Structure formats: C-alpha cells, structure tokens
Amino acid sequence: MLRAILLGPPGAGKGTQAAKLVEKYNVPHISTGDIFRKNIKEGTELGNKAKEYMNAGKLVPDELVVELVTSRLSEDDCKKQGFLLDGFPRTVFQAEKLDEFLKENDEQIDIVIDFKVAHDVLVERMTGRRVCKNCGASFHIKNIPPKKDGICDRCGNELVQRADDNLDTVTNRLNVYDKETAPLFNYYEKSGKLESFDGEKQLDSLFEEICKAIGDR
C-alpha cells in the first residue's frame, strides 16, 4: 500500500507521473484540480466558488479544500489501497490537518514527491496547453500538437485554451504557489518524508527514479 503526496508548481508534470504511479501501485489518484473542474463543469455550489478563485489564479481557501479531500480519503478504496494526493496539501495548515486526519485513522504519509522545474519552462508548458471543448482530450501546441491546428484529433471539435492557462493567470498562479507553498518544504523536510526530483528530465527516467525512492522506504 502506498500513501504519497505529489508536490510541485502547476505545469510541473505531476499529472503525467501520477497516471504512471496509479497504474504501477494500483492506488486512487486524488487530484483537487480534477475535482474542482468536475464541479465547475456541473455548476455545483462548490464548483462556482472554486471557479472564482481558479480563474483569478488564486488558491481555493484551506477549509474548503481540507473538507473535500478528507471526505474523499475516508472512502473504501483509499482505506484499502492507499492514495496518491496531487495538488494537496498546498499550505502548512492543510498539511497539519491532513496529518491530524491520518493519525486519527492510524495512518501516515510514506513519501512526499517534489518536482523541481524552472519558471520559464513552466510558463511554456502551461500557456501551450489546449483542450477539446467536446471530449476533453488534451494537446500542447509544441509538445503534443494536434494533426490539424486548433482541431481535436479524436472528435474533430475545436481546441481551446483554458481560462487558467493564459499568460497573466499562469504567472500569477506560479507566484502564488511559490509564496504559499514554500513553508511546506520545510514542514516535510523536517518530517524526513520529502524527496525532490528534476521535473525537466525525460518522463521514463524520472518515473524510474521516483519508483526507486518509493522502494527504498
């Protein structure tokens, strides 16, 4: 069983590595970003609240996020298989609340996986992302371009840039991340759980390094 946290700024490649880790270790992938986007698409009250913050490049308030995540971690699949947290915690307050929740259930985090990527690389990655309005397929104008510019390979519908992927919002998100999450590294370094990796490495090599670090624990 694996209980792990993925840390790193938006665009660091957490989602890509998460998919590979989920397949290898058979753990539920708990992504706050995915949960918020799902709620936004469905127009729920939580989604509408989250949308205001996300579109402005701000972090969703701690209390809202903690309640959402701990509720998800209480479900049977997480109890039996562990979990991979992506996008949570982002503040020391969230980390403390997570540890309190796990301690109450006689559980603890095994490893905190941190991705290091230069700001200019992150900006290029994020502003170049495109998503299909119809089927949700993801592309990138440089790294994973569609066969026809602006058109989805899968269903032929229009590709768009998400509101939170424009340059101004991306820059603000990165600045907010740096400011809000910097204390997290000290928190997890003190606990001995933190392992940092070069997020600009080739995907498979990076994945091998992560698996080795997990295996060494």
Q: Is the dihedral of CA 30, 50, 8, 188 positive or negative?
A: negative
57: left (phi > 0), else alpha (psi -120 to 50), else beta? left
Q: Name the helix (H) or strand (E) containing 23.
A: helix 14-25
User: How far is it, in rounded angstroms, from Cα 72 to Cα 5?
Assistant: 15
Active site residue: 37, 125, 129, 130, which one? Answer: 129
Active site residue: 3, 51, 90, 125, which one? Answer: 90
Active site residue: 49, 162, 193, 201, which one? Answer: 162
**List of residues 6+ apart from 21 with CB closer than 8 A:** 2, 4, 27, 29, 84, 207, 210
Residue 31 bridge partners (DSSP): 86
Active site residue: 3, 14, 37, 51, which one? Answer: 14
User: How far is it, in rounded angstroms, from Cα 115 to Cα 8?
Assistant: 5
Cis peptide before 146 (omega within 30 of 0): no
Residue 45: CB atoms within 10 A of its CB come to 8
Q: Is 125 a catalytic residue?
A: no
The one-letter amino acid code at 212 reads: K
Q: Is 173 a catalytic residue?
A: yes
Q: Is 130 a catalytic residue?
A: no
> What are the residue numbers of the active site?
14, 90, 129, 162, 173
